[in-house]
Structure 1
Amino acid sequence: MPRIDVHHHFFPLTLDKVNTGKDVGFRTPAENLPWDPEISIRSMDSSGINIALLSFPAIASGSISEENRRITRDRNLFVTGICRKYPGRFGYFATLPFLDDIEGVLEEIRYTLDELGAQGISMSSSYGEGPSARYIGDDTYDPIWAELNRRQTVVFLHGAQTPSTTPYPHPSLGVPIVEVPNETFKAASHLVVTGRKRKYPDVKVILAHLGGSAPYLAPRVAVLSRHMGCPLTPNEIMDDFKTFYYETALSAHEVTLSAMQSFVSHDRILFGTDFPAVSTEMSSWYTNNLETFYRDEGDILEMINYKNALTLFPNLQTNFPH
């Protein structure tokens, strides 16, 4: 069965130093570093993945500067080159400048979607550090959401590597394991309670890792955020959570997939791996779980593995096996 991987990273070591994960309590598999497209293609071939949509790892830090714009443009040109060198194997979500740079962000959206052919846009859950950090539903970013909505853009939303005060509880429970999924939930919740998800319904937002903790904490938001002043009713809040898309990277298991069945319709779930941040063996454990869970429901498995992605990205139909 064909597969489209919507959560697949690229590490452009020739352009800038990429965080290998050590400072946040995680080890990127040594065999995947330094990364190049051939490493991904070998993993894709062994995992039955036809197409991978590349994204740069979520980065919340930055500044409003020409240097930040230049680095961002270099990353997008780099990944565009990969897609052109390996036609039919890769697409990508464009990286944006530091989100407070509204003018720079709007220009990069235009350039990457109109001239470079990006499949969509990649966003971090928040931008900035400490008390100055803003989550993506902030009023400041309204012009960006308005433009994305006008274009009916697909946005891949990934939790930032934001440490807690611990900064994490144990060497085997680093930031990517215990904090990043909660950052995804916090960003999704922020879009819902601020009304941005409802105000800009034509932006198609994919939440990484099955939304992190979103499926389990959404009911908590529904009642308690209403109590704290959110104008939406509990049912409206729950309905808005159900309008996100959710991808399976590092998350597919009987427990989580059972929860997703009662949370969203099957056309809202996409396939992902998080390679090369993890090994092929690690991502395959989740893929096997997904196949086992839906072993008697091949039509649903087809939707998750590739059909839902083809609906979101119809231009991937070209040269795609049928």
Structure 2
Amino acid sequence: MDTHSDRIDVHHHFFPPSLSRVKAAQSQAVGFRTPPENLPWNADLSLRAMDSLGIQLAILSLPTGLAESFDEAKRVNALMHQIVLQHEDRFAFWGCLGDWRDVEGALQLIPYVFDELGAVGIAVSSSYGSGDEARYIGDDIYDPIWSALDARGAIIFIHGTQTPSSTPIPHPTLGLPITEVPHETFKAAAQLVVSGKTCRFSRLKIVLAHMGGSTLALAPRVAGLARYMGAPLSEDEILIEFRRFWWDTALSGGGSLAACGAEAWGVGEDRVLWGSDFPAVSLDTIRWFDSHLGKVYQNNASQLENVRRKNVLALFKSCGIRVFGSQSVPNRS
């Protein structure tokens, strides 16, 4: 990896102090291992990693399943905002609205994170709740939240939840973050499309973590079979809606659209954004994935520069957001 400090990292986690103390145990419970050198996390740890990886700006987001109460969500938003203020031009953050099943609480937090704190957008879990009480984010109960975000033309960053399947982890090296999270992202994205939510809330700009998990490979399957099962959109209309998403390269094999066949149904390279997933993984792991990204674009240096930086700046500009300065400010009318 070259070390030119030009990357903008859209997938960079904030570990609050309460999480850093228990993160190792939590990771073990879902079949994963957070690098011990990244715990306890603090902003200086990220800054050293960013300098090593050539990241100019990291957009912080809270891991899924945390800060689900209104008070805790408000507190972690304030903590991320303080990091942005303390490190000019190095951090921005995705706001957190807590557990979306508390619709009124989420609605109260929207003006707080945007208007008072200057979040660039909202980080969203693919679902909220567990078991029979779980509701994916395209559920009708969340429509008031989507409507309020759509009115702002907000950017949404969707990350899959670590939802266990009904069967055991297939192998010690295949924990939930590896096998389940990619499919949870896909299920949330597919639900938003076939339920008509991406059509209804068309001002939203939605970024899918980890290249959308399995979304790119399975979107044509959804188009054909969801239509067969009675989806109101035609096959072509479903694929048009999938083309609305943006795709974050974190831990995603180089972020190749061609490898997933996505170019054939019209996903553009201008929708690919760079992400690291630090501090959830080691620097060596991030470098391995980034080396594959370099191979994908080895004959197109300008496109690689777009993925690493220019695409996300264009996305922010389209939403009236500036990310360099004393804080990240949505300049929306």
TM norm. shorter chain > 0.5 = yes
Equivalent residue number for residue 117 of structure 2? 116
Q: What CA distance in whole angstroms lies between the structure 1 residues aligned with 2:276 and 2:286?
A: 5
Q: Whole-Å Cα distance in 2 between the matches of residues 209 and 14 of structure 1? A: 26
One-letter identity of the residue aligned with 2:282: S
Cα offset for 1:201? 1.1
CA contact (8 A) 1:83 1:90 kept: yes
Q: How does 1:151-166 map to 2 (within 5 A)?
A: 151-166=152-167
Q: Flag structure 1 segments of 5+ consecutive residues without an equivalent.
A: 63-67
Report what 1:26 is aligned to.
32
Q: Any idea what the Cα deviations from partners look like across 1:263-288, whole Å, max 9, x if unmatched? A: 51011110001000001110111111
Cα distance change, pair 15–209 in 1 and its aligned pair in 2 (3 A) = closer
SS in structure 2 at match of 1:305: helix
Letter in 1 for 2:11: H
Shift of 1:222: 0.6
- Secondary structure of residue in 2 paired with 1:313: helix
The whole-number CA distance in structure 2 between the counterparts of 1:159 and 1:46 is 27
Structure-2 residue corresponding to 1:283: 286
Matched-pair identity in %: 47
Match for residue 9 of structure 2?
Answer: 5
Contact map agreement 1:61 1:127 (CA 8 A) in 2: no
Match of 1:298 among 296, 301, 317: 301
Amino acid at match of 2:38: N
- 1:121-144 CA deviation, whole Å, 9 max, x = no partner? 000000110011000000000011
Q: Which residue of 2 aligns with 1:316?
A: 323
Q: Answer whether contact 1:60 1:160 (CA < 8 A) is retained.
A: no
Aligned to 1:227: 228
Partner in structure 2 of residue 65 of structure 1: none
1:252 is displaced (CA, Å) by 3.0
Q: Are the equivalent residues in 2 in contact too, given 1:60–1:125 (CA < 8 A)?
A: no
Q: Distance in 1 between matches of 2:143 and 2:22?
A: 30
- Asked if structure 1 preserves the Cα contact closer than 8 Å seen for 2:153 and 2:203, the reply is yes
Instruction: Give the TM-score normalised by the residue count of structure 1.
Output: 0.93
Find the aligned partners of 2:89 and 2:62 in 1 and give their Cα distance.
19
| CA distance in 1 between partners of 2:255 and 2:104 (Å) | 44
Mapped to 2, the partners of 1:242 and 1:18 lie a distance apart of: 38
Preserved CA contact (<8 Å) 1:15 1:75: no
Task: Tell me, yes or no, if the aligned pair for 1:24 and 1:161 is still in contact at 8 Å.
Answer: yes
User: Scaled by the length of structure 2, what TM-score is found?
Assistant: 0.90
Give the Cα–Cα distance (whole angstroms) in 2 for the partners of residues 298 and 180 of structure 1.
Answer: 31
**Distance of aligned partners of 1:60 and 1:168 in 2 relative to their CA distance in 1, 3 Å threshold:** farther
1:217 counterpart = 2:224: no
Give the RMSD, CA atoms, in angstroms: 1.8
Q: For residue 287 of structure 2, what is the amino acid of its counterpart?
A: S
Letter in 2 for 1:6: V
Give per-residue Cα distances to partners, 1:18-56, cap 9 Å, x unaligned: 544111000000000000111111111011010000000
Pair 1:276–1:4, CA change in 2 (3 A): same
Task: Give, in whole Å, the separation in 2 of the partners of 1:136 and 1:100.
Answer: 10
For residues 143-292 of structure 1, the aligned pairs below 5 Å read 143-253=144-254, 258-259=259-260, 260-262=262-264, 263-292=266-295
Instruction: Rate the CA distance shift 1:147–1:232 in 2: closer, same or farther, 3 A.
Output: same
User: What does the per-residue CA deviation read over 1:229-268, in whole Å, with 9 as the maximum and x for residues that have no partner?
Assistant: 1110011111111110001000033866533444510111
Q: Distance in 1 between matches of 2:61 and 2:137?
A: 18
Q: d(CA) in 1 for partners of 2:134 and 2:159? A: 16
